[in-house]
Amino acid sequence: MEKPEKPILLQEYMEAVRITGPQDVRRAAEALHQISMDLAQMRIAMAHDIADKRTPVDENGVVLARDVFGWPDDEKAWWRNSRIALDSPITAACRFESEPFWVNAQGFHTRSPNPYLKAIELTNFEQRAMTRGALVVPVHLPFGQIGVATFNPIDRGMSDLSAEFEHLGDALGIYARTFIESYVHATSEIQRLPPGSRLSKREVECLRWAAIGKTDLEISMIMSRSRATVRFHIHNASIKLDAVNRSQTVFKAAQLGYISLNQLIG
C-alpha cells in the first residue's frame, strides 16, 4: 500500500476525534470516519461495550454505524445482530487482547504472541465476523467494560491486511481508543462508585485472601487479627464499593485493580 503524504499520527486528528460532551459525538464520529477513509479506505464498525446490545449514537439517538460510518441499513446490519458479541471471533478475541491486531480466516495476527487467541474457533469466519478481514482495536475500560473498533476494507475482497496493520495499526488504535473512551465518558449517566471509595491497605489485604476462598476465620489466623476485625474490614470495603455481598465486593475490587486477576486464577 502507498503511504499517505501527510503524517498519520497528528495532534489535530486526536482533538478531532475527542468528545467532551454529547454534542460532540457526531462531529467526532465524522472526523474518525474521514481519517479512516483518507488513511486506509476502511469503514469502521464500533461497539462502546460488547456486553451492551445498544450501538453508539449521536445526541439525537441517530445510529452512527448507518448515518456516519456508512453501513447499509438492512436486516443483515451487524448492529442489529444481538448475538454478534457471542458469535463473532473478533469480540471473543477482544476479551483476551488489549493491543490492536488484524484477523482473517487464517488467524489472528498480533505484534506480540498471545496463546489465548489460538484457542478461538475461526470456522465460518466471514459469516460469523461479517467481514473477510479487519484491523481490530480492543478498548479496555474501567469496571471491566470492553469496547471495540474494527476497520474493514471498502474492497470487500481484501483479506490480507498485514501492510495496513504494520503502517497504520498503532495510529488507528490511538484514534479509535480516544473516540471510544471519550464517548463512554461523555455519555455515561451512571456514577458507578460513590465518592471516597478508595480502599485501605487492610481492606485490600482481607479481600485478597477472600478472593482465593479463605474464610474470615482463616484470614484472621493468617493476618494475626481477630475474626471481627476481618469482618469489619470486608464490610467497610463493601460499603465503599457499593457492593451488596462479599462476592460482589471481591469482584469490584478486582475490576478496580486492587486484586490481581493472576492471583484469582493462579
C-alpha cell read off for 239: 460499603
43, 138: one domain: yes
What pLDDT is attached to residue 4?
Answer: 52
Provide the residue-wise pLDDT of the chain in tens; the chain has 266 residues: 554 555 677 889 999 999 999 999 999 999 999 999 999 999 999 999 998 888 999 999 999 999 999 999 887 888 888 788 889 999 999 999 999 999 999 999 999 999 999 999 999 999 999 999 999 999 999 888 999 999 999 998 899 999 999 999 999 999 999 999 999 999 987 666 766 678 999 999 999 999 999 999 999 999 999 999 999 999 999 999 888 999 999 999 998 889 876 655 44
Which of 36, 7, 14 minimizes the C-alpha distance to 174?
14
169, 54: one domain: yes
In whole angstroms, how large is the CA radius of gyration of the chain?
22
* 39 vs 36: CA distance, rounded Å: 5
**Residue range(s) defining the domain that contains residue 122:** 11-187
Question: DSSP per residue over 165-206, as a string?
Answer: HHHHHHHHHHHHHHHHHHHHHHH-----S-SS-PPPHHHHHH
- Is the four-CA dihedral 245, 246, 251, 253 of positive or negative sign? positive
Q: Centre a 10 Å sphere on the Cβ of residue 7 and count the other Cβ atoms it contains.
A: 9
Write down the residue that cell numbers 469496571 correspond to. Answer: 143
Into how many domains does the chain fold? 2
136, 248: one domain: no
161, 248: one domain: no
Is 60 within a domain?
Answer: yes
Is 17 within a domain?
Answer: yes
> b vs e for 244-266, b when ≥16 Cβ sit within 10 Å of the residue's Cβ?
eebeebbbbbbbbebbeeeeeee
φ, ψ (nearest 5 deg) of residue 117: -70, -25
* 214 vs 249: CA distance, rounded Å: 14
* 262 vs 35: CA distance, rounded Å: 38
Angle (nearest 5°) at CA 97 between 92 and 102: 80
What pLDDT is attached to residue 265?
Answer: 47
pTM for the whole structure: 0.84
- How do residues 222-236 score in pLDDT, each as one tens digit? 999 999 999 999 999
For the chain, the residue count is 266
The CATH number of the domain where 155 resides is what? 3.30.450.80
What pLDDT is attached to residue 255?
Answer: 86
φ, ψ (nearest 5 deg) of residue 46: -140, 145
Is 105 within a domain?
Answer: yes
62, 17: one domain: yes
Q: Which of 187, 219, 245 is the last residue of a domain?
A: 187
